[in-house]
């Protein structure tokens, strides 16, 4: 049994640094995925609006042609 306190080795420090880098990368990825989800929702709303406007324009055109 050793009477010396445990020392932090270079390998342990390197491993801890890698885990910190991984945690940081996962946080960035999570933020980016949330932004992507928000953008996808905006695109869906825009497409829905475009479909509505296209339908309105088609109805106007059809009523103009049928007069």
**3-state secondary structure string across the chain:** CCCCCCCCCHHHHHHHHHHHHHHHHHHHHHHHHHHHHHHHHHHHHHHHHHHHHHHHHHHHHHHHHHC
Residue 59 has pLDDT above 90, yes or no: no
What is the arithmetic mean of pLDDT over 7-21?
Answer: 93
pTM: 0.61
Q: Cα(7)–Cα(46) distance, rounded to whole angstroms?
A: 59
What is the arithmetic mean of pLDDT over 13-22?
Answer: 97
Residue 2 has pLDDT above 80, yes or no: no
């Amino acid at each position: 049994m050793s009477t010396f306190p445990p020392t932090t080795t270079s390998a342990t420090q390197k491993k801890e640094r890698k885990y910190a880098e991984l945690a940081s990368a996962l946080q960035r990825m999570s933020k980016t995925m949330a932004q992507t989800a928000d953008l996808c929702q905006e695109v869906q709303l825009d497409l829905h609006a475009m479909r509505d406007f296209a339908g309105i324009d088609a109805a106007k055109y059809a009523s103009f042609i049928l007069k």
